[in-house]
Structure formats: structure tokens, C-alpha cells
Amino acid sequence: MELVTRIADVPVRGTGNIIAIGKWDGVHLAHQAILRALVAEARRVGGQSVAVGFHPLPMQVLRPEVAPPALQTLEERAEVMAQLGVEVHLALPFDEAFANLTPEEFVHQVLVGQLRAQQVMVGFNNTFGRGGKGTAETMRQLCAPLGIPVHIFQPVRADGENVSSTEVRFAVAKGRMQAAARLLGRPYSLRGVVAHGDKRGRTLGYPTANIRLDEGRLLPPHGVYTARVTVLGEPRRVQPPVTITPRTGPAHGAMLNLGMRPTVGGTELRCEVHLFDFSGDLYGQEVLVELLDYMRPERPFPNLDALVAQLREDERAARECLARLQGTRG
């Protein structure tokens, strides 16, 4: 899949561009419903599937003081889209000039004049144009005289709620990782490079990988989690235009501590993960950490012996959780 940030870099293929428009933060189940339809329709008519989004996200530009943390990096978003079969992700730079386009200008100048859209797909709650005045129905009305069909997708529901990035954030912020996974269609994950720490874990019988997390990501509450770690290899720095191929690697069950490490006098936030049944050097490697379940809050212990006793209990609980989840998937 091609990740581009300029319309001029969108490849010219097939009979024309079939366009889906959204913010795509998290690429949750409702997003996936639109993207799967996009890919299927593009293949049916011999066109090119183009998912149009924004980077940075609009709220980060319009109201940065209240903008929520992102659920994904741009690269992670593009990788999920690639797995769904999308051919191009156009992540338009969102700035004041773009924000001031009227709905009519967006349709005529961007969708038609530059992207030459043949069809358009949007969610029911899509807004666009200056002040968010354009709605999905506005899009349909503006495109109809131009002969461009607009497909409006209705809500997708899970756990009795409409699936949305807001609901995913709420679940993650509460540490409800299995609820977040049901909304996303996959576990919520963090990604980072393994850096050198103080190596105290190995003296306790629980060596950990100290993960330097990407900035600006939504983090769950401090505490201990059942996790699954995929070793991706050397870090990849994405600079559009670029071809994105999803990365994979060996996966390991794990338990993770996110917090300040009060028992050992920690003074900064750390993300430390102990991989089960693993031996090897991970320094400098990029890893994907899927947060499968919240086990307990972080808390201080009176001494290291008490901490180790709790780590043994955490390991037992995490292994049981991994076995249970594996049985559910199987």
C-alpha cells in the first residue's frame, strides 16, 4: 500500500479513484466496515481504493489544548489499512488553510478537481468543510449533480454501543482492554524501541525489556497487564511517499508493568515487559506490545522479597489469561 501526504503523489491506476473519507483514528470496526466496502467496490469496477484521512488529526490543529491523544501513529494506521487491502492512504496535512475550505470547495477542488473521485464513501457522522458544516448528506447533495455516488455507512455496534474512537479511548483509559479489543477488532497495542534500563529485573529473576514509547499515544492506567509481544526487528522510520508493508515477527506471551516503579524509587514513567520463555537480546529492536488484560494497579511493596512474590503471582495469572484467550481464539 502507498502512504502519501500529497495529492500529486496518489498513483494513477485503473478506471479511477474510489474514495473513502474519515479520520481513521484507531481503524476500529466501523472504519473497517467502510474500508472493506471500499476495497470490494474498487476491485469490482477496476478502480483504485483510496482512503483519505488527515495528519495531524483535525482536533490537534483546531483545538490542541483539548485534543485527545491519538490511538495510533500514522504508520500503524497505514499498516492496518494495508492488511485490509487498501491501495492508497492519502494523509492530507491538516492546517488552517485546509480547515477554511467550504464544503463546496472541498468537493469541487479536492474530491473532483484533484482526486477525480468516481465514488465516495463516508460514515454517517462524517463532517467536513469550514466549521464542520458539511455532513454526510451534504456530501451526497453536492456530489449528485456531478454524477458521483456517495455511500453513507450506518453505525456499527458492539457491546451495546456505537463503535467509535471515543468509545475506544474510554475503554483504554479505564483499563478495559478486552472491551477495547472488541471495538477495534484486535487488541489495543503500543509500539516502541527496546532501550537500556537499570537491569534490576534480571537480579529478581524477571528480566524486562524497557520500551521507549512513541510520544503522544493514549496510555492505559498505570498497572500490570497481560500482554503479547511481537518482535518487529530494526526500527523503521516512515517518510511519505512510501510503500507500507505490514510487519510481523515472533510473538511471545508476556506481562507488562506501566508506571513509576515506586518500590525501587522510580522517578519517571517506564513501560517494562517480561517475555515468558524467552532468551535473547532485544536492545535496539522495535516491538509491538498488545495489551490483553489489566491485572492490577501498580503499588509499592515493603521490600524486594514481597515484590518478587507478587511477580510470581502476576506471572501465574498472566499465563492463565493467555491460555484462556488462546482457547477462545482457537
pLDDT digits (tens, 9 = 90+) for 166-197: 999 999 999 999 999 999 999 999 999 999 98
Q: Are residues 147 and 6 in the same domain?
A: yes
More confident residue, 93 or 237: 93
The helix (H) or strand (E) run that includes residue 194 is strand 188-195
The helix (H) or strand (E) run that includes residue 43 is helix 29-45
Q: Are residues 152 and 264 in the same domain?
A: no
Q: Are residues 13 and 147 in the same domain?
A: yes
Q: Looking at the domain assignment, is residue 271 inside a domain?
A: yes
In angstroms, the CA 79 to CA 247 distance is 8
Q: For position 215, what pLDDT does the model report? A: 79
* 8 Å CB contact between 324 and 330: no
Q: Are residues 215 and 292 in the same domain?
A: yes
Q: Are residues 97 and 204 in the same domain?
A: no
Which residue, 258, 243, 165, 245, is CA-closest to 209?
258
We report the CATH number of the domain holding residue 60 as 3.40.50.620
pLDDT at 144 exceeding the cut of 60: yes
Q: Looking at the domain assignment, is residue 152 inside a domain?
A: yes
Q: Which of 110, 138, 156 is the last residue of a domain?
A: 156
At 53, give phi and psi (nearest 5°): -135, -160
Q: For position 235, what pLDDT does the model report? A: 93
Q: Which of 140, 156, 172 is the last residue of a domain?
A: 156
In angstroms, the CA 183 to CA 181 distance is 5
Q: Are residues 17 and 138 in the same domain?
A: yes
Q: For position 329, what pLDDT does the model report? A: 63
Q: Are residues 10 and 143 in the same domain?
A: yes
94 dihedral zone (left: phi>0; alpha: psi -120 to 50; beta): beta
CA dihedral 160, 163, 168, 174 (to 10 degrees): -10
Q: Looking at the domain assignment, is residue 255 inside a domain?
A: yes
Q: Are residues 7 and 144 in the same domain?
A: yes
With 0-12 / 13-18 / 19 or more C-beta atoms within 10 angstroms meaning exposed / middle / buried, residue 160 is exposed
Q: Looking at the domain assignment, is residue 44 inside a domain?
A: yes
* 8 Å CB contact between 4 and 88: yes
Cα-only R_g, the chain? 22
In angstroms, the CA 298 to CA 259 distance is 7
The helix (H) or strand (E) run that includes residue 18 is strand 17-21
At 22, give phi and psi (nearest 5°): -175, 175
Q: Looking at the domain assignment, is residue 161 inside a domain?
A: no
Q: Are residues 152 and 202 in the same domain?
A: no
The helix (H) or strand (E) run that includes residue 150 is strand 150-153
Q: Looking at the domain assignment, is residue 168 inside a domain?
A: no
Q: Are residues 107 and 192 in the same domain?
A: no
Express each pLDDT in 235-256 by its tens digit: 988 899 999 999 999 999 999 9
Tell me the whole-structure pTM to 2 decimals: 0.93
We report the CATH number of the domain holding residue 252 as 2.40.30.30
Q: Are residues 134 and 220 in the same domain?
A: no
Number of domains forming the structure of the chain:
2
Q: Which of 114, 134, 156 is the last residue of a domain?
A: 156
- Terminal C-alpha separation, the chain: 30
Express each pLDDT in 122-136 by its tens digit: 999 999 999 999 999
Please name every residue paired with 330 in a beta bridge, in sequence order, or none if there are none: none
The helix (H) or strand (E) run that includes residue 203 is helix 200-203
Outline where 53-102 has alpha helix (H): 58-62, 74-84, 96-99
Q: Looking at the domain assignment, is residue 164 inside a domain?
A: no
Q: Which domain holds residue 280?
A: 187-329
Q: For position 283, what pLDDT does the model report? A: 95
Q: Looking at the domain assignment, is residue 169 inside a domain?
A: no
Q: Which three cell numbers stand for residue 157?
A: 455496534
Residue 71 pLDDT class (50, 70, 90 cuts): very high
Q: Are residues 112 and 224 in the same domain?
A: no
Q: Which three cell numbers stand for residue 87?
A: 491501495
